[in-house]
Amino acid sequence: MRGEGCYLWDEAGLRYLDGCGGAFVANIGHGVRAIGEAMAAQATRIAYVNGTAFTNEPVEALASELASLIPAELDHIYFLSSGSEAVEAALKLARQYWVESGRAEKQDIISLAPGYHGNTLLALSASARPHYATFFREWIVDVHRVSAPLAYRCACRGADAECRVCSGMALEDKILEVGAHRIAAFIAEPVGGSSTGASVPREDYWRNVREICDRHDVLFIADEVACGAGRTGTWSALEPYGVVPDIMTMGKGIAGGYAPLSAVAAPRRIIDVLARGSGSLMHAQTFSHHPVMCAAGLATLRYLREHALVDRAAAMGRVFHDKLAALLDLPHVGDVRGRGLIAGVELVLDRDTRAPFPRKAKVAERMTEAAQRAGLVVWPNTGHVGGVDGDIIMLAPPFIIEPAQIDELVTRFRVAYDDSVVGALATA
């Protein structure tokens, strides 16, 4: 298999438009030689060194480059291999911070439902996706949930200024119910990933969340693994709201898919508590701060900057959503949402009532298979309605996508819809 730009070719020579960047990862496109060359050059210098014994040039340069892109306060960065690892480390950092602050009773976590934060056990615990947790319930910890601000699924459709869910005030309700003295952290994706189909909270949501967390002394962890690295048209998905989290996780796009790389960023005020106490974060990974992975990340960030690709994601994002809006003329497309170059298309049985297809119809799966037959790669999600039903098709193409390729994506999406939804209706 090979890739170039926005396209993939399989071993039979069939071409596919990569409509989801793999898993929201391939932001600079496929086949960028500069990234591979940077990795190869680093591998010939030093491929691996233990991060607990030595630092290395790529990790220092990458930390400096990344710190210049995220809020200035978040200037301490820890590099890992995957989003799950970053979330695991961020949650452990929050817990260790409170223990070393002399407040060990702050041990509980609050997250959004639906929501997704990874597949390692603590990250899976924070994820509100029952179909993933079914087999591991006895192994995961209990996490408190508040409803995600998914306007399409809310009774108020996002229009009620007093709605506790859409305003973010449901978080305060939960903190008061559990007791602020017990809550260590609230974790959430600033723009929803696949679990909520790229849902974008209303303007006041994150400012309210920040104020609530400050008022009750709760750490706010922004999980930007999927929605960060310029995907929404700004480097941080939180940037338009003027909100700075206490801890931020990043991944996927920070290395463009050329190497497995993720990061946790935190401010000195949190890190200094650990430095004065135990001396370090009680978390270690064999491949943390890996020189070759960090060389890939550094080359990717420089490529993004040199080609102004985050600004391009914002500009193409407007074109993207204008063209995707035409899909609303399809009778079983209930909603199209998102920001920048991430979008969710929700498929429903009945548009008037928003009733989902029954799970047995497997609409998202059928649509994904039909899209691949039509030469389009998309990302499916299910379970956002009642933890079981619901069908979303996620789209997150490379930032280099052209308007004509967006037209091609929409055309192929329609072909896949015609190929799959009719059959699903018979099943429903």
CATH number at residue 355: 3.90.1150.10
In which band, very low, low, confident or very high, does the pLDDT at 428 lie, cut at 50, 70 and 90? low
Mean pLDDT of the chain: 96
Same domain? For 107 and 224 the reply is: yes
- State which of 290, 306, 322 marks the end of a domain: 306
Give the C-alpha separation, 81 to 251, whole Å: 8
Give the C-alpha separation, 215 to 235, whole Å: 27
Same domain? For 16 and 73 the reply is: no
Backbone torsion region of residue 185, taken as left when φ is above 0, otherwise alpha when ψ lies between -120 and 50, otherwise beta? beta
Exposed/middle/buried for residue 351 (C-beta within 10 Å: 0-12, 13-18, 19+): middle
Q: What is the pLDDT of residues 44-70, one digit of tens each?
A: 999 999 988 999 999 999 999 999 999
Which tops the pLDDT comparison, 119 or 132?
119
Average pLDDT over residues 130-148: 88
Same domain? For 339 and 259 the reply is: no
Number of domains comprising the chain = 2
Q: What is the CATH number of the domain that holds 225?
A: 3.40.640.10
Residue-number span of the structural domain to which 402 is assigned: 2-28+308-427
Contact predicate 395/342, CB 8 Å: yes
186 SS3 class: strand
Average pLDDT over residues 246-266: 98
pLDDT at 130: 76
Give the C-alpha separation, 255 to 293, whole Å: 8
Residue 185: which residues within 8 A CB-CB, separation 6 or more? 91, 94, 95, 109, 110, 218, 219, 220, 221, 246, 247
Average pLDDT over residues 169-177: 98
Same domain? For 377 and 258 the reply is: no
Same domain? For 327 and 252 the reply is: no
| Res 201 pLDDT > 90 | yes
Same domain? For 228 and 321 the reply is: no
Two structure tokens written together for 171: 């978080």
Q: What is the pLDDT of residues 357-404, one digit of tens each?
A: 999 999 999 999 999 999 999 999 999 999 999 999 999 999 999 999
Same domain? For 143 and 164 the reply is: yes
Same domain? For 180 and 249 the reply is: yes
- State which of 306, 335, 359 marks the end of a domain: 306
Same domain? For 244 and 290 the reply is: yes
Same domain? For 336 and 213 the reply is: no
**DSSP calls for 66-97:** HHTTS-TT--EEEEESSHHHHHHHHHHHHHHH
